Structure 1
Amino acid sequence: MTEQLRAAVVGNALMSFFPDIDKDMRERVQTAMLFAQRATREVVGSGQVSDGYDYYRQQLKFLGWDATSPREPFDPDLERRSVHEAMLGRIGAAAGPEYSEITRWSIDALGLVQPALFRFEQRSLEVTSFQLLPCRVNRPGYVDMVLYHEDLNREELGNGFLYRERTSRRVRAELVRFNARLFEQQFGDKVRQRLLKTLQEEIYEL
């Protein structure tokens, strides 16, 4: 089934898509995420906010994303695992093992495409953080996504940081739901017009 899976680098995020997400839905999700990233970079860069992640979540909520309660509790044994396995474990704890497995697949796929990996690492270095975002259709018009966000020490953001042991400053993993129909009706055309050039530069399909 892996030939039906999709992945894309969107700014400093690696997005994974289950086969039930078609091209139009992928584009809506990617556009919303990129808009939230760009808005957050602008306000953080100007010093208007100190917590970029909270502002980022507010932008997502404005565009039609709602946080839901994790399906499983946090597993304290994650701290004893390797960084890579702990990362996947947190994603699985938030939404289920199928989300961690597709994320594992997309990480492996990213490592085989050097231009995409370079872009992902470059954008992550700029904001000293990265995201892993596995996405799946919950019901028609709605997408469930695990928002995994990790803040990193700048000195550890070298080539291949995603595949090495590292020290994380802050890690979050939560399940969020996207009302894609609402986004398209209220924001779709306006957001795409504002991001016309950025969409071409910041999204790399694997």
Structure 2
Amino acid sequence: MNEANGAVIGAGAVSFLPGLSLAQKNKVKLALALAERATQTAFDEGLVQDWYAYYRNQLKFMGWDAVSAEQVHWPDTQRAEQVDKVLGLIAKTAGERFASNVEVSLQRLCNSPQTLAILEKHARERGHFQLLSCAPAGQNRVDMVMYHEIDTQDAWRAGFITRERGMKNVRAELVRFNILAFENSYLPKVQARVVEVSLQRIHDYDI
């Protein structure tokens, strides 16, 4: 498996910068899959209206915390002017290395038709789309920029990744994940069947 492999989980594309071990990436993907499953179930049952807010809280329970403002790495001033609006927002939120990683990840995802079709299907059904780029932060911690975009179902037709973005309903933030806290406090409480079903929601692709 390529060190910089990515994955589609629900309506989100997850990518990894170099420096994370396979075990660390698998824990991150499992946490995201568990949060995605719990959120979508609650949303389908009409228990929540704000999908992203509930998803964000699910991650918080597992060991994800917002990164303080002084920890955000701002890119050079010209970066946001030179790239697509999505990448510009990601660069502004978390730094150029995250934006570059997402750009490469999306290019490779477009070359993986079967996995891309899964992402497009979920985006159409749910009316939202996510980009989640992860990087090592030391001491079994992972930084992740979360980009979440909401639009009408018609907007998520085939090829939506490369279309011009309206940027009307988007959110982006940088969060940090404590892998050991996830392994030692949250994961032992999760039933094996829930983990098994959540793992089935992960669709890997090479970057």
With the shorter chain as reference, the TM-score category is 0.7 to 0.9
| 1:6-85 equivalences in 2 (<5 Å) | 6-70=5-69, 71=72, 72=74, 85=84
Paired letter, 1:180 = I
Question: Where do 5+ consecutive residues of structure 2 fail to align?
Answer: none
Paired letter, 1:15 = V
Find the aligned partners of 2:12 and 2:185 in 1 and give their Cα distance.
24
Find the aligned partners of 2:147 and 2:157 in 1 and give their Cα distance.
20
Find the aligned partners of 1:180 and 1:95 in 2 and give their Cα distance.
20
Paired letter, 2:35 = A
Find the aligned partners of 2:93 and 2:18 in 1 and give their Cα distance.
20
Residue 203 (str. 1) matches residue 206 (str. 2): no
Answer whether contact 1:95 1:175 (CA < 8 A) is retained: yes
Question: Quick check: 6-15 or 85-94, which moved more?
Answer: 6-15
State the partner residue of 1:123: 122
- What is the CA-CA distance between 1:147 and the residue it aligns to? 0.5
Structure 1 segments (4+ residues) deviating >6 Å: none
Count of equivalent residues: 199
- Provide the secondary structure at the position in 1 that maps to 2:55: helix
Paired letter, 1:155 = D
- What is the CA-CA distance between 1:166 and the residue it aligns to? 4.3
- Provide the secondary structure at the position in 1 that maps to 2:58: helix
Answer whether contact 2:9 2:36 (CA < 8 A) is retained: no
Answer whether contact 1:31 1:191 (CA < 8 A) is retained: no
TM-score, length-scaled by structure 2: 0.88
Answer whether contact 2:90 2:98 (CA < 8 A) is retained: yes
**RMSD across aligned C-alpha pairs, in angstroms?**
2.2
Find the aligned partners of 1:122 and 1:204 in 2 and give their Cα distance.
16
Question: Where do 5+ consecutive residues of structure 1 fail to align?
Answer: none
- What is the CA-CA distance between 1:190 and the residue it aligns to? 4.4
- Provide the secondary structure at the position in 2 that maps to 1:195: helix
TM-score, length-scaled by structure 1: 0.88
